[in-house]
Structure 1
Amino acid sequence: MKIKNPALLFVLLGAPLALFASSENDRKIEDAAKASYNYRTVLDNHVKVKADDGIVTLTG
């Protein structure tokens, strides 16, 4: 069987992964980033970390 639309295949395979994203996981991601050596020393806490549905955004 040849797949005619590989993008659809990726969406179907990746959709269940979105179910694992939760606010608790986002909080853990943010805490881990803030506790890292690079965040504390290199970035000197000038960058804000925000995680939303498993997507991390650094601003600053």
Structure 2
Amino acid sequence: MKIEIEKLKQNSKYEYVYAFENNYAVFRTFNHKMGVINSAGNVVIKPVLHIFITKKDLRIYSN
């Protein structure tokens, strides 16, 4: 079951949830760290990154 973005935003853990792409979405916490969740709402990449840039053929991860 897909979690709606608005429902995730209402969860006090996430300041912002970006749109899902290929069943994954980047989220930002209130301390400006970013991570990734899957469509079930499970954290796939813990929020330890300050910048998380994704492009179709390019992925850059930075602390």
- Given the two structures, how large is their TM-score scaled by the length of structure 2? 0.30
Larger Rg: 1
Whichever structure has more strand as a proportion of its residues is: 2
Higher relative contact order (CA 8 A, sep 6+): 1
